[in-house]
Amino acid sequence: MHAMILAAGRGERLRPLTDQTPKPLLQAGPHRLIEHHLYALAEAGIRDIVINVAHLGQK
């Protein structure tokens, strides 16, 4: 099974946190937001993952 994480949004509602940092890289407890999703997918046995990035994607 494959999964796609849509992580291209600007995170407008999280400003000013997302002015310099893309939303998936924000800390949420001990992990970044994207890590929570990756761990959940791995736990479900999904290994083929594509992450769609745009806003600050180079980070």
8-25: per-residue pLDDT in tens? 877 788 899 888 888 889
Give the pair of three-digit tokens for residue 7: 């992580």
pLDDT attached to residue 39? 96
Whether the CB-CB separation of 19 and 59 falls below 8 Å is answered with no
pLDDT attached to residue 57? 59
**Global confidence as pTM:** 0.76
Whether 40 shows a pLDDT value over 90: the answer reads yes
Q: What is the percentage of the chain residues whose pLDDT exceeds 70?
A: 92
Indicate the pairing of strand 31-32 with strand 27-28: antiparallel
The band of 59, judged by pLDDT with boundaries at 50, 70 and 90, is low
User: Taking the domains of the chain in order of start, what are their residue ranges?
Assistant: 2-53
| Run of H or E residues at 38 | helix 33-43
